[in-house]
Each structure stands twice: as structure tokens, then as C-alpha cells.
Structure 1
Amino acid sequence: MNFWEKVTGGDLTRDWKTFGARVEALPDDYQEAWNQIVAHLFAYGDFTGRNLTPILDSALGLLEVSAADGQSVREVLGDDIQGFTTALAGGAGARTQRDRWREQLNSTVARKLSRLGG
């Protein structure tokens, strides 16, 4: 990826178009599961979402293989899609982007307050 694509997000646009084409080939219940996975996974993304691309690619690959084998979405993901997504992101203790921003804000405020205190 060159600098210009990274700045403009051209690489992400291309990846999402590819994901969209792959998702359209899935059965409806798999498409719905994909949309839920994406919605739950975005909380774990960085500012651009680039860190999620390999995770989403793997999850979509799992859905494609499972659909081709004739398995139902429930057999593959279970009843808890949000739990499945949390496991993909690194488990229950995985930090979300909100957690990272909160830590950065708290650190900045603490540093500023320590300068005021002496």
C-alpha cells in the first residue's frame, strides 16, 4: 500500500467493495450474521478500521466455507453472535477504541494536573 492510498483510504474502499461482493453471494441468513459481526466488531477498530480488515476477511471466509458445506448460521456461530465477535477481537478483556481514548484522555489530564500541582 502506498502513502496516497493510505491517506485517502483507497485501500479500505477496495477491501469493502470486495467484502460486499463476497457477502452478496451468501444466503440471506449468512448476510444478516455478517452485518451483525461487522456492527459488533467496529467497537474494536482503530480510527481507520484497518486493523479489522484481516479479522473480517477471516470471519467472511468462515461464513463462505460454512455456507458451501450447507451448515446453518446457528451451527457455525451459535446463538451469541456478539460473543463470537468478542472472541474474534481478542476475548472479553479486549480493549475497544473507546477504552484507548479514555486512557489517553485520563493520562493527558493527569499530566496537566501534575504540572499545576507543582
Structure 2
Amino acid sequence: MNFWETITGSDLTREWKAFEVRARALPADHQAAWEQIQNHLYAYSNFTGRNLTPILDSALGLLEQTSADGQSVHEVLGDDIPGFCAALAGGEGARTYRDRWREQLNRNVARKLGRLGG
């Protein structure tokens, strides 16, 4: 990845398109699980989403492997896809973008109040 790809995000676009092609080859139930995994993992993204690329690649690989082995999504992921995604992102209590924004807002408010009160 070169500087220009990093700035424009063209590398991410290429990877996401590759994910889409791979996901379209999955059976319908695995495709539905893939959509849910993506939706639940977005909350753990950083500003660009680059931190999710290896996680999503591994999750898609798991779905591809289980599909090839003839296993159902339920056998592999169970009923708790949000829990599965939380575990992939670092376990329960992993910081989401909302947590980071909330902390930043709290720091900014405290700083502003400190200036006004002092």
C-alpha cells in the first residue's frame, strides 16, 4: 500500500469489492450471516475502517470454510451473532466508536468548563 492509496482509500475500495465477490459465492444463509457480521462490526471501526479489514477477512474465510464443509451458519455462529462480533473485536467491553466519541466529548466539555470556572 502506497501513500496515495492510503490517502484516497482506493486500497480499501479494492478490498471491499473483493469481499463482495467472495460473499456472493456463499449460500443464502451464509450471505445473510455475512451481512449481519458486517453490520455488527461497524461499531468497532476506527475512522477509516482499516482496523476491520483483517477481522472481516477472517470472518468471511470462516463462512467460506464452513460452507464448503456443509455446515450451517447456526452450527458455527449460533444465535448470538452480535456476541460473536464483539468477541472478534476484542471481547465484551471492547471500545466502539461511540465510546471514543463520548470520551472525547467529555474531555472537551471538562476542558471548556475548567476554563470558564477558573
State the TM-score bracket (shorter-chain normalisation).
Answer: over 0.9
- Which residue type is aligned with residue 95 of structure 1? R
- Which residue type is aligned with residue 26 of structure 1? L
Report the Cα offset of residue 116 of structure 1: 1.9
2:80: which partner in 1? 80
TM-score of the two chains, using structure 1 as the length reference: 0.96
- Which residue type is aligned with residue 38 of structure 1? Q
**Structure 1: which 5+ residue stretches go unaligned?**
none
Determine whether 1:43 maps to 2:49: no
2:93: which partner in 1? 93
**Structure 2: which 5+ residue stretches go unaligned?**
none
- Which residue type is aligned with residue 39 of structure 1? N
Structure 1 residue ranges (4+ consecutive) displaced by more than 4 angstroms after TM superposition: none
The CA RMSD measured in Å over matched residues stands at: 0.8
- Which residue type is aligned with residue 15 of structure 2? D
- Which residue type is aligned with residue 62 of structure 2? L
Equivalences for 1:1-118 in 2 at 5 Å?
1-118=1-118
Distance 2:93 2:63 in 1: 25
